[in-house]
Amino acid sequence: MEVQLKNDKSKFKSTEVEKAIPLEYDLGNLAAFDTNPIDPKALKKGKDDFLKQLTRDNAQLIMNAIFNLPTKSSEDGVFATLPEPTTVIPREKPVPKEKILTRWEKFAKAKGIQKKKRSRFEYDEETGEYKARYGYDHTKNKEEIPEDWLIEVPKNADPMEDQYEKRANEKKERIESNKKRQKRNQEEAEAIRKNINPREARKQELLNKSLIAKTSTASLGRFDKKLKNEPKVKNQGIRKHRDSNTGDMKAEKEKTLEILEKTIEKKK
């Protein structure tokens, strides 16, 4: 029996290769590294044949290693599951920066609130069909009476108040306040990106704005009430007096001549 098996094997060429130093593999990249010294004489003798033989042996070894990996078979063939690559290869682009969360996102994360995907189609009970919520084919019958054709006046409300206007105003306010929050989120994110505490950044910005505002009074803020911890501003309240456009012709002539002389001197 054994003899027969041996014969059976010897019909084919062997898959075994002997190496003094075993190869190192990086099977994640399908690579093998042969650190055995190369015989320079043999290389010179017949370069291409030598290289081919060397590569064949190493290819055999790496193939053996790949065929020994755990496999999965599917319709397209047998797949070997590769390990993680071990060779350190530089990335193409830097590691993505972490997204800065908005206040709501932070809150939702802490509370464990998850975003629910709202389906694009909605069941219409009247017709018993699914209708698009928005976009293409969400056709709303134009002749249909709108849902809010009648609004109940709340019990304690002023009967003369226009409920439609009230609704519209409320919506406007909501939009406004949401925009404000959006802006705040953006500003805070910017501050975090610059590695500043967002509160400090806001404080600094307000202070800068207040200092600008002070220059807009007639006295350039000289007689304004001082804020607590207000920084001292150099030359505050000093107004530059410009010469009048009409009047002293002699002085003006001297001035322009002086400028002219200076420029000529510079050119020389």
Partner 1 sequence: MLRTIKPKNARSKRALKNREPKVEENPKQAIFIRGSSTNQIVNTALSDLCSIKKPYSIMFSKKNAIHPFDDQSSLEFFSQKNDASLFCVGTNSKKRPNNLVFVRMFDYQVLDMIELGIENFKSLHDFKSTKSSIGMKPLFVFNGELFEQREEYKKLKNMLLDFFRDEVAESVNLKGLEYIISVTAEPVANPTDFGKVFFRVYTIQMKKSGTKQPRIELEEMGPSFDFVFRRNRFAGEDVMKEATKIPKELQAKKVKNITHNDVGDKMGRIHMKKQNFDNLQTRKMKALKKKFNKVEENNKEEPSTKKAKTA
Residues at the interface with partner 1 (CB under 8 A):
8-9, 11-15, 28-40, 43, 47-48, 51-52, 54-56, 58-60, 62-64, 66-68, 71-72, 76-82, 85, 87-97
Minimum gap (Å) between residue 134 Cβ and partner 1 = 16
Question: Are 27 and 80 spatial neighbours (Cβ–Cβ below 8 Å)?
Answer: no
Minimum gap (Å) between residue 178 Cβ and partner 1 = 22
CA–CA separation, 178 vs 171, rounded Å? 11
CA–CA separation, 55 vs 45, rounded Å? 17
* Integer-rounded Cα radius of gyration of the chain: 41
Which residue, 227, 224, 248, is CA-closest to 237? Answer: 224
Structure tokens at 83: 């390990």
Of 36 and 208, which CB lies nearer to partner 1 in the complex structure?
36
Minimum gap (Å) between residue 212 Cβ and partner 1 = 30
CA–CA separation, 81 vs 85, rounded Å? 12
Of 6 and 194, which CB lies nearer to partner 1 in the complex structure?
6
Angle ∠(251,256,258) on CA atoms, nearest 5: 95
Minimum gap (Å) between residue 40 Cβ and partner 1 = 5
Which residue, 234, 210, 235, is CA-closest to 224? Answer: 210
Phi-psi region of 37 (alpha: psi -120 to 50; beta: other; left: phi over 0): beta
Minimum gap (Å) between residue 80 Cβ and partner 1 = 6
Of 38 and 157, which CB lies nearer to partner 1 in the complex structure?
38
Greatest distance between any 2 Cα atoms in the chain: 129
Of 100 and 207, which CB lies nearer to partner 1 in the complex structure?
100
Of 62 and 191, which CB lies nearer to partner 1 in the complex structure?
62
Minimum gap (Å) between residue 191 Cβ and partner 1 = 22
Of 97 and 194, which CB lies nearer to partner 1 in the complex structure?
97
Q: Is 129 helix (H, G, I), strand (E, B) or coil?
A: strand
